[in-house]
Amino acid sequence: MGNALTGSALDEVLARAQAAPFSLSRDELAALLRLRPGPEREAFHAAARAVRDRVSGPNVYLRGLLEIGTRCRKDCLYCGLRRSNSHTVRYEMAPPEIVRLAVRVYELRLGSVVLQSGEVQSAKHTAVVEEMVRRIRSLTSPDFAIVLSLGEQSEETYARWRAAGADRYLLRIETSSAAFYRTLHPATHRWEVRKNCLSTLKRLGYQLGTGVMMGLPGQTAEMLADDIIFYRRIHADMIGMGPFLPHDETPIRESPLTEAERLELGVNMVAATRLYLHTCNIAATTALQALSPQGREQALLAGANVLMPNFTDDAHRRAYQLYPGKPIVDEVSGEEPLSALEASIRSIGMSVAWGLPGTPPHYLADRDPAE
């Protein structure tokens, strides 16, 4: 890879990136991702922040997270919920409880709710989720976004959930390299299947969310640059990315990077993604906050515009361990706590867009089916 970006070369790259989306090369993205703390990195984040402010203002859109179940048919080599982990508590929240919490998220004027769980594929599960989505839809206004993050499913299942009223779907590709994907998953998990799910979701009219983890063994800055370019190719509307947080009960139990390095890289990835895509929503994820109390604020200052306060009840939240060290009783699980979150958002010069779904401008402008 070329030289470190400094001085007028950096100024030129940042000015070009700010002027129009998709204007950086893979090598330039990789060089930005490598920037270490200092004035160059500050300028990089400020440029990403300026693009964010231009496309969506200093608004933070809140998405209430419900972790609705820990059962999972998959065996991803990095995840605490993997099927082979017999030490994890498996639960499924009861549908009426999920609907109740989703309505609470709506009444507290968050713009969207996301239902997330391990991957379950069955006719019964499809029908239960469909009914739940229909019920939430009937109890909330049409501009309240219902977001699903329930893994890989058939086209028919995705279509039924969409018809029932789901607006968005989050499915991280995890890496845009099929070869690297194979080192992170058993052979039965296929990158091509996951990628096809993304294309299908887009074709069905979902607002499409995807993303990757940063700091995995064998991952390079160039691979992460390719991931950003992949987001464009798949026509993603929303991006959620987080540092890899090793879990002891999984085969990949170590990261080659320190926690501080992963936090740095995670925030750089937010900034580089904003500079490349411009009009997508980008989340400041809980995994960043797990590495530092200021992790999410750092991501907002680097161009993110979405936060996902957790509304899962405490008992279930404790068992939903994709990774260890997740903030369990975090500051955002009720009304009073939401005002603390709002204060922290204000302290960095942003404001909560209460009651607004924050539909990404990218989705409104780009209705082409993905490749």
Q: 246 with 255: CB under 8 angstroms?
A: yes
317 is a site residue for ligand SF4 (CB under 6 A): no
Q: Does 118 bind ligand SF4 (CB under 6 A)?
A: yes
Which is nearest to 240 in space by CA: 207, 218, 217, 216?
207
Query: Is 322 a binder of ligand SAH (CB under 6 A)?
Result: yes
Please choose which of ligand SAH, ligand SF4, none residue 82 contacts, taking the beta carbon within 5 to 8 angstroms, the exact cut-off set by kind. Answer: ligand SF4
Closest CB to ligand SAH among 322 and 345? 322
211 binds ligand SF4 (CB under 6 A): no
Rounded least distance, CB 300 to ligand SAH, Å: 19
Span near ligand SF4 by CB under 6 A; candidates 77-85, 101-109, 256-264, 353-361: 77-85
Among 74, 247, 296, 362, which residue interacts with ligand SF4 (rule: CB under 6 A)? 74
When asked if residue 130 is in the footprint of ligand SAH (CB under 6 A), the reply is no
Q: Is 38 left (phi over 0), alpha (psi -120 to 50) or beta?
A: left
Does the footprint of ligand SAH cover residue 59 (CB under 6 A)? no
Residue 310: name the closest of 298, 302, 318 by CA.
318
Q: Which partner in ligand SAH, ligand SF4, none is near 52 (CB below 5 to 8 A by kind)?
A: none
180 binds, among ligand SAH, ligand SF4, none (CB under 5 to 8 A by kind): none
Q: Number of residues interacting with ligand SF4: please give it, by CB under 6 A.
A: 10
Instruction: Give the residues lining the site for ligand SF4 (CB under 6 A).
Output: 72, 74, 76, 79, 81-82, 118-119, 151, 322
Instruction: Give the residues lining the site for ligand SAH (CB under 6 A).
Output: 78-79, 116, 118-119, 149, 151, 171-172, 174, 213, 242, 244-245, 247, 287, 322-323
